[in-house]
Amino acid sequence: MTTLLNSRPAQKFSHPDITAKGEQRASVDFRSMKTLWFNTGTLCNIECVNCYIESSPTNDRLVYLTHADVVPFLDELEARWEVPIEVGFTGGEPFMAPDILNILEETLQRGHDVLVLTNAMQPMMRPRVKEGLARLIELYRDKLVLRVSLDHHSEALHDEERGAGSYKLTCAGLEWLAEQNARVAIAGRTVWDEAEATARQGYADLCQRLGLSLNVNSPTELVLFPEMDPSKDPPEITTDCWGILNKDPSDIMCASQRMVVKRKGAGKPTVLACTLLPYDTAFELGDTLAEASEPVSLNHPYCASFCVLGGGSCSA
């Protein structure tokens, strides 16, 4: 194992190339664009206990993206890579963004597979949004997936995370999506240390009650995300870890995914290495997709806990 003891940093995750033990930090080369994410803004109708992006009704550190913000990136995507690809929309709550329906239609018209991460609550259920979304589902059903955040299949544990009454509102949104015959996925969490088989059976029972046709044994239709706990102390990932863990760097999110955000007060959007680190400027890669095609140093606890060790990925 190669060490760089003469220049080792004092703290973990403090040097882009060297770990606190003086070892060579792992990095991930960009291979190709599998998923391009747009964060439509950090404002959300609720405030969750463990929201990694700290979305809330007052957090506007990332402002709403407009149709005009998104189009140049879709144009560049088509100019640089083989398309269509998967294009994802996250937040905050995407259906709070005023331009979301126009943005979704623009993306779908270009032939991309679209994934929208939503809590399926009041913003999605407003009459104007329901009308527009129902039309998009009818026109582009095979290309549009709504991944609904339902942290647990039980009301008590879901509401423990997202607030009293949120479970019933999300279930009402899921029922409406089922009535539209929409393609739906569910995103849950593993924070409660429940056996995976038990969790999947719980979601299966819920889907049956809601009239949802969803394969709970599919890791893309029911995604159970590893928890990202800032208080945990994961190990740093070194170049030797790929062999030790039998991991291929090309399977890590930043090998094939990027996220576009617009910071409050900024004149234009910028591109980040991944969806998990919206505020860390060390993971800001440039204003274009071309600039953002650089290698990414795994210099954050989430790189270890969520991606490398947790095996998580935000894409479908």
CATH code for the domain in which residue 40 is found: 3.20.20.70
More confident residue, 201 or 276: 201
Task: Residue 82: give the domain boundaries.
Answer: 26-45+57-153+166-308
pLDDT confidence tier of residue 193, bands split at 50, 70 and 90: confident
pLDDT confidence tier of residue 166, bands split at 50, 70 and 90: very high
More confident residue, 49 or 228: 49
C-alpha 196: how far from chain center:
21
Q: Residue 230, preceding bond cis, omega within 30 degrees?
A: no
Q: Which two tokens stand for residue 171?
A: 């279930």
More confident residue, 4 or 100: 100
Tell me, yes or no, whether 121 lies in a domain: yes
> Closest Cα to residue 262, out of 103, 33, 133?
103
Tell me, yes or no, whether 116 lies in a domain: yes
- Per DSSP, the three-state class of 274 is coil
- What's the chain's average pLDDT? 93
Mean pLDDT of 193-222: 95
Per DSSP, the residues of 53-67 read T--BSS--SBPPP-H
pLDDT score of 316 more than 70: no
pLDDT confidence tier of residue 76, bands split at 50, 70 and 90: very high
Tell me, yes or no, whether 21 lies in a domain: no
Tell me, yes or no, whether 120 lies in a domain: yes
pLDDT score of 6 more than 60: no
pLDDT confidence tier of residue 233, bands split at 50, 70 and 90: confident
pLDDT confidence tier of residue 302, bands split at 50, 70 and 90: confident
Tell me, yes or no, whether 19 lies in a domain: no
Question: Mind listing the pLDDT tens digit for each residue in 87-123?
Answer: 999 999 999 999 999 999 999 999 999 999 999 999 9
**How much is the pLDDT for 229?**
63
Tell me, yes or no, whether 226 lies in a domain: yes
Query: Among 29-33, 192-196, 288-292, which is the least confidently predicted range?
Result: 192-196
pLDDT confidence tier of residue 315, bands split at 50, 70 and 90: low
Decide if 285 contacts 271 (C-beta within 8 A).
Answer: yes
pLDDT confidence tier of residue 1, bands split at 50, 70 and 90: very low
Decide if 144 contacts 108 (C-beta within 8 A).
Answer: yes
Tell me, yes or no, whether 9 lies in a domain: no
pLDDT score of 213 more than 80: yes
Mean pLDDT of 244-248: 92
Mean pLDDT of 5-28: 85
**How much is the pLDDT for 51?**
86
**How much is the pLDDT for 3?**
46
More confident residue, 295 or 2: 295
**How much is the pLDDT for 270?**
97
**How much is the pLDDT for 50?**
83
Tell me, yes or no, whether 206 lies in a domain: yes
Q: Which two tokens stand for residue 223?
A: 């995604």
Decide if 315 contacts 253 (C-beta within 8 A).
Answer: yes
Decide if 270 contacts 286 (C-beta within 8 A).
Answer: yes
**How much is the pLDDT for 226?**
76
pLDDT score of 57 more than 80: yes
pLDDT score of 199 more than 90: yes
Decide if 70 contacts 38 (C-beta within 8 A).
Answer: yes
Burial of 71 (0-12, 13-18, 19+ CB in 10 A): middle
Question: What total of structural domains would you count in the chain?
Answer: 1
